[in-house]
Homo-oligomer: A and B are copies of this chain.
């Protein structure tokens, strides 16, 4: 029977819904929210006030948290200010990566991640987090120095999460060394990158419990959706929908741990298709943010309008995501576990007292 520490088991259960599916809301974004507000306010991203991020996160958290199985927020602008509006029955994940990345490698085309300065797994656990989240940029062909840096960072976090019996959710974000993120070339490269990084970082020695993965492809470049289905723009297709489905199966085979889908800033209609295909291939749900609440930002600083849009649009978007995840694989039915009844808490991990 597979064993897991009692704390990790307990907290994985708290992150999922009653059926073991993850319907988790992300509001831990920092860089992307700053960028959107900067554009709106006509200032540099560095000039967006601290309070603007706090306000945006507070409005969205209060409106959407009651509908989620868990909420992912950050310890800088989010949790200290809006943590109390997350219902007690909804679990909390705390992000611990510094937003964005530092450049590295030849020509600065590679990306390395770091932990928020002054923050740690121990502090996240102490303040009440039910899980730790770390966003890692990853490229299978990065230089060895970059790969070693990223791998040792994950390994270290995995060890600390094991020590604190806190589930470790690792978000993997791939990038191209040569092409733009929205290019047809990257649409071709990406499926392999996603599968390869999932394979690497779900190896047991990293200590990852749950992967948060990109959609391995870009529907806008498929035959079926290339005629502007999502944004009105016609593109030259690079593959068919069945190729994307094959890529999803490869990702699911590559991941040795349960995985959830991220939205990565795509629109809600595209995300709903992504999610339907991903859960059909074995994803255990989603952890998504911008696809659901992106439109709220444009109403800042009008809090009343932001709340209205949250209730009118974001909750509607959210409920469609939840419905679409109905056929997600319960995390404990992933082949790593084989059913909740088969899982036992590691009898040695806690040194349980005896009578």
Contacts and interface: CB of A to CB of B under 8 A. Distances in A.
A347 interface: yes
A340 interface: yes
B75 A352 contact: yes
Given A88-B13, A91-B88, A127 B165 contact: yes
Interface string A1-43: 0000111111111111010000000000010000000000000
A353 B116 contact: yes
B7 A347 contact: no
Contact of A164 (B83, B84, B126): B126
Given A127-B7, A128-B7, A80 B15 contact: no
A3 to B, nearest CB: 12
Nearest to A10: B128
Interface residues on A, range: 35 or more
Contact of A76 (B11, B50, B76, B353): B353
Contacts of A350: 75, 80, 123, 126-127
A8 B119 CA distance: 19
A125 B13 CA distance: 16
Nearest to A118: B353
Contacts of A192: none
Nearest to A165: B126
A89 interface: yes
Interface in A75-108: 75-77, 79-80, 83-84, 86-92
A355 B117 CA distance: 9
A63 to B, nearest CB: 16
B92 A10 contact: yes
A12 B119 CA distance: 24
A345 interface: yes
A85 to B, nearest CB: 9
A160 to B, nearest CB: 12
A354 interface: yes
Given A10-B86, A126-B350, 10 more contacts: A6-B80, A9-B128, A10-B83, A10-B127, A10-B128, A13-B86, A15-B88, A117-B353, A118-B351, A123-B351
